[in-house]
Amino acid sequence: MKLLTRVFFIFGITVLPLHGCMMGMHGMDHEPSHQQPAKSIVKEFADKDVTLTLEVSPFVIGEDATFVLKAYHMKRETPLSGAKVTYRIERIEKSGNERPEQHIGAAEEREADEIAEKGVYRLRYRVDEGGLYKITARLWIEGRDDAAPLSVSLTQEAGLHGNHDEKTGDTWMIIGGIGMVLMMAIMML
């Protein structure tokens, strides 16, 4: 009976602290991902009295990204409404040569919708494959005879959500648990 009591006592002393440690380590699985953050760029066209702000959400493979172009009149500080806006999405491919060169792979162009006539033009885009993308927003001002649109562009890299190796985390959790058991055994001696 004394032996059974000692076994349960030692088991309880060993398992309860380890349970707390493993619970704490489990919380690390919910850290923010290491994907590319949202990006934005502002470009002013003083001769046209226009400021464009392009914002692109993070690119996660299999999820929708959001492109937002905000257009304002600089002098009047009012939204530029009623313009035609398109987004050109180009996947940049790198060659495997010694001298890395980049060339544009597949490209597509889509027209954006204006949000409530507030000079905000939005488009959702589904990211299907990883890589580096160049997003160019082009704006044609209604009522102007300018043939060339105003444009602003930036690049965004697509990656997996979370972008971390779960097997490595599990391995370290097991090693940590073994280390805790050894530490508890040494303390009990």
- Domain holding 73: CATH number? 2.60.40.10
Structurally, the chain folds into a number of domains equal to: 1
Domain range for 145: 39-159
14 falls within a domain? no
pLDDT score, position 176: 80
Q: What is the predicted pLDDT for the residue at 12?
A: 60
Q: What is the pTM of this model?
A: 0.62
> For residue 176, what are its two tokens?
């940590």
On whether residue 6 sits in a domain, the answer given is: no
Q: Which pLDDT value is given to residue 27? A: 47
pLDDT of the residue at 186: 82
In a domain, 9, yes or no: no
Instruction: Let me know if residue 28 belongs to a domain.
Output: no
User: Contact 152/143 with Cβ under 8 angstroms?
Assistant: no
Contact 106, 121 (CB under 8 A): no
Cβ atoms within 10 A of the Cβ of 51, count?
A: 20
Q: Cα separation of 64 and 23, whole Å?
A: 33
What averages of pLDDT result for each successive group of 10 residues across the chain (189 residues)?
A: 65 56 48 63 93 93 93 92 93 62 71 89 92 93 78 89 52 79 78
Asked if residue 122 belongs to a domain, the reply is yes
Predicted confidence at residue 16, as pLDDT, reads: 54
Would 180 be classed as within a structural domain?
no
Domain-embedded: residue 19: no
